[in-house]
Structure 1
Amino acid sequence: MNDQQLLRYSRQLMLPQLDYAGQERLLRSRALIVGLGGLGSPVAMYLAAAGVGTLMLADYDSVDLSNLQRQIAHTTATIGQSKAISAGAAVQSINPDVEVECIDELLSPGEFKPYVEKADVVIDCTDNFVARFALNSLCMETGTPLVSGAAIRFEGQVTVFDPRREDSPCYRCLYPDDLEEEETCSRNGILAPVVGMIGTTQATEAIKLLAGIGTPLCGRLLLLDALRMEWRSIRLKRDPACPVCARRNTLPQSRAASI
């Protein structure tokens, strides 16, 4: 790290759990954020501020006026722009040292797989089950840790799926594929700070995974009820009959040391 970086990250360097070595790991890391809306906006901004070296930002949607109530990476001036490009500009205004790669087109799972393979962590900030199931399958196939988040109305949830761990469940263990029609913010509404609370929690979990610190939310689902301002945690077990992860080849935990 140079003198400017030492000053920029000085408050993190003071943390004994992170220290110089952990910050160096962050600087060498590559994170893939899928969805640059209400969840992805704070994720991208906090990972950039924390010094994650490379951010791959994936979203093929464009900024709309109705997004600005909660999607804080975007502004009135960027209405009509690609969300990936708009968020990329926001990220680099916070930390110009961060390398940004924008993916602003709709790709098939096969086309998207190389980006997942290159990532040290994937943060799922999408808003539909099709995308979540596809990301889960790609992460299980490539052995890439996945930080999953969702929010609606006054509620949210966060968990981590880590295929490097033999006991880790996956998204398909949590949700079957025969789901009823899903709820969306456009139909059911969302309180603006709720996505921020979930998104910043996802960013925290991603940083912990990249730096190799703390205990990740693997095997636990963290649930938020913002009306009561209550958090609760429930255990998640791996489904031995899961069609996605039951027969996967787990990767060694040593991969974390190479980040």
Structure 2
Amino acid sequence: MPFSPDETRRYARHLVLRGVGGEGQQKLKAASVLVVGAGGLGSPVIAYLAAAGVGRLGVIDHDAVGLSNLQRQVLHRTDTVGAPKVESAGAFVAALNPFVAFTPHQARITQDNAAGFVAGYDLVADGTDNFATRRIVAAACAAAGKPLVSGAVSMFDGQVTVFVPGGPGFRDLYPADPDEADLPACEIVGVLGAVTGVVGTLMAMEAIKLITGLGEPLVGRLLLYDGRAARFTELAYGAG
């Protein structure tokens, strides 16, 4: 489908970018992405995928916007406190790019419903803040043969990786489930807001690479970010 004059102007810097161009932008327009979580990581993922022109964005989140979210969850505003996060995210996307179709899913993703949500999208980006949910999402994506961009943050640090059909999986990276008591929640230990921006933006970049075929995705590689040292470290997994 040809771009309208407004789309051509909007995506001008992509259209002249070697490696993306018109073909890559058409792939973005045709793509559908499910973002699990409209919080600290989901915010930059949603913002940059909407800005990039992903044709359909689905967002699943059961929560409402809280005042303490605003330190890092940049989709939301003071006047949206108390509103469902998916509603606030939808308003953000509509204001940013009217060419993106937005599908809100105000629900908690579970073992029972994950497969149904994942089935309707080409790719999934998971920015949830607990290990059990990340495991459920990864299992659903693996069963459906859908690529998954997975990110996590804590305090000053973060990580991102990509799981694709036929590649190293979630269990290659995490052979055993950690004790939940060893995974302190953000509410207890805190997180620097900008760290979620760094990692969430990296997640958006990986999603764009997967959609367009650009570059080398983080498959079988875990990228670690140390915010205090301003250092990235890469670890390989699942190589045999």
Q: TM-score, normalised by structure 2?
A: 0.95
Equivalent positions of 1:174-253 (< 5 A) are: 174-180=173-179, 181=181, 182-237=183-238
Moved over 6 A (4+): none
Q: In the TM superposition, what whole-angstrom CA distance separates every residue of 1:200-241 from its partner, at most 9, and x where no partner exists?
A: 0000000110111111000110000010000111111167xx
1:106, 1:228 → 2: CA distance? Answer: 35
- Count of matched residue pairs: 236
Deviation at 1:92, TM superposition (A): 1.2
Q: Show the counterpart of 2:79.
A: 77
1:121-146 deviations in Å (ceiling 9; x for gaps): 10001000111010010000000000
Query: 2: CA distance between counterparts of 1:204 and 1:108?
Result: 27
Contact 2:109 2:133 in 1 (8 A): no
- Name the counterpart of 1:26: 28
- Offset from partner CA, 1:151-180 (integer Å, 9 cap, x none): 1111000000001xx3x2112221244312
Counterpart in 1 of 2:69?
67
Q: Deviations over 1:7-58 (max 9, x none)?
A: 0000011111001001001001000000010000010010000000000000
| Match runs of 1:1-259 below 5 Å | 1-163=3-165, 166=166, 168-180=167-179, 181=181, 182-237=183-238
Distance 1:238 1:119, change over 3 A: farther
8 Å CA contact 2:60, 2:109 repeated in 1 = no
What is the CA–CA distance in structure 1 between the aligned matches of 2:54 and 2:177, rounded to whole Å?
37
Query: What amino acid maps onto 1:229 in structure 2?
Result: A
Q: Whole-Å Cα distance in 2 between the matches of residues 178 and 127 of structure 1?
A: 15
Q: Note the C-alpha offset of 1:183.
A: 2.0
Aligned-pair identity (%)? 44
Distance, in Å, in 2 between the alignment partners of 1:217 and 1:151 is 17
Shift of 1:111: 2.5
AA at the equivalent of 2:171? R
Whole-angstrom distance in 1 between the partners of 2:159 and 2:58: 23
Q: For 2:41 and 2:109, locate their aligned partners in 1 and report how far apart those are by CA, in whole Å.
A: 21
Deviation at 1:78, TM superposition (A): 0.5
> Shift of residue 107 of structure 1?
4.6
1:116 and 1:139 in contact (8 A); partners too: yes
Cα distance change on mapping 1:52 and 1:152 into 2, 3 Å:
same
CA distance in 2, matches of 1:107, 1:210: 24
Q: Distance in 2 between matches of 1:149 and 1:120?
A: 18
The gaps in structure 2 that reach 5 residues or longer are: none
Rounded to whole Å, the distance in 2 between the matches of 1:178 and 1:115 is 24
Amino acid at match of 2:113: E
Distance in 1 (CA, whole Å) between partners of 2:157 and 2:108 is: 28
CA distance in 2: counterparts of 1:2 and 1:132, whole angstroms: 38
Q: Is the partner of 1:110 in helix, strand or coil?
A: coil
Q: Which runs of 5+ in 1 are unaligned?
A: 240-259
